[in-house]
Copies of this chain bind each other. A is one copy, B any other.
Amino acid sequence: MAKGKLFIVGLGPGEARYLIPEASDALSEAEALYGYQPYLERIPAREGQARHPSDNREELVRAGAALAHAAGGARVAMVSGGDPGVFAMAAAVIEAIEAGPAEWRALDLVIVPGITAMLAVAAKCGAPLGHDFCAISLSDNLKPWEVIEKRLRLAAQAGFAMAFYNPVSKARPHQLDTAFDILRAELPVGVPVIFGRAVGRPDERMRVVPLGHARGHMADMATCIIVGSPETRLVERPGLPALVYTPRRAGDE
């Protein structure tokens, strides 16, 4: 029996112009694709390549199905938005491997990185992640909200710029406002906050407001938020959006 192979492929933030050649090659080589349905829809159909779309909440089930398929000797690709290692499918697949049968550990596993949302949002508006920064998921599906609050406070005290993934959902409409309130207690109200929605897709929208004016309703599930550090600055441009950047020189307090 052929040895199975599982690719975990990052599609980047949207259009094909963000897909690295190694990812394109993996998608070509795969006999079957697994993934959240909207991600699979981004990939052109290929003769003889099976597709196994799934719901967003079924990460471990999806991971197990792809692993079992690959363990049967197939070349399988699990697709992920952005980078598979940043709040995406790579950790779920490895969690399934750890809990699964021994043969899953013997698979040829190849993780193909991608442009994660915060890098696309940052590139679109300047260089807000130009100095030390952190990335935090605001979802409390898999961790207590108190841990998130603690991380926000410590990140602000550290002087990190911050990127927020999963900023809101229908089940938790008010937590993003709580997060901004916590940051307003730690940071100057003028710190720029960037709301990057659907960056890299046709309906992309960027908005930059000072922290004092940042509100939860400015984000939805497709938004990646970047909160600057106290050193993050705006460079105004006539007739063009201001550039937002965090200088390379920092912390001369």
Contact = CB atoms under 8 A, between A and B. Distances in A.
B127 A151 contact: no
B130 A97 contact: no
Contacts of A22: 17-18
A134 B132 contact: yes
A180 to B, nearest CB: 18
A43 interface: no
Given A25-B17, A235-B105, A130 B249 contact: no
Contacts of A95: 245, 247-248
A249 B134 contact: no
Contact of A106 (B106, B128, B135, B237): B237
A25 B25 CA distance: 19
A236 B102 CA distance: 10
A23 to B, nearest CB: 9
Contacts of A16: 21
A217 interface: no
A131 B17 contact: no
Interface in A207-236: 233, 235-236
Contacts of A94: 126-127, 130, 235, 243, 245
A111 B122 CA distance: 9
| Chain A interface main SS type | mixed
How many chain A residues sit at the interface, stated as a range, is 35 or more
Interface string A108-130: 01011111100110111011111
Contacts of A158: 134, 150-151, 154-155, 158
A116 to B, nearest CB: 7
A151 B159 contact: yes
A85 B129 contact: yes
B84 A127 contact: yes
A34 interface: no
21 contacts: A12-B20, A17-B20, A17-B22, A19-B20, A20-B20, A59-B248, A84-B127, A85-B119, A87-B248, A92-B248, A105-B238, A109-B243, A113-B122, A113-B123, A115-B115, A132-B137, A132-B151, A134-B134, A143-B252, A154-B154, A154-B155
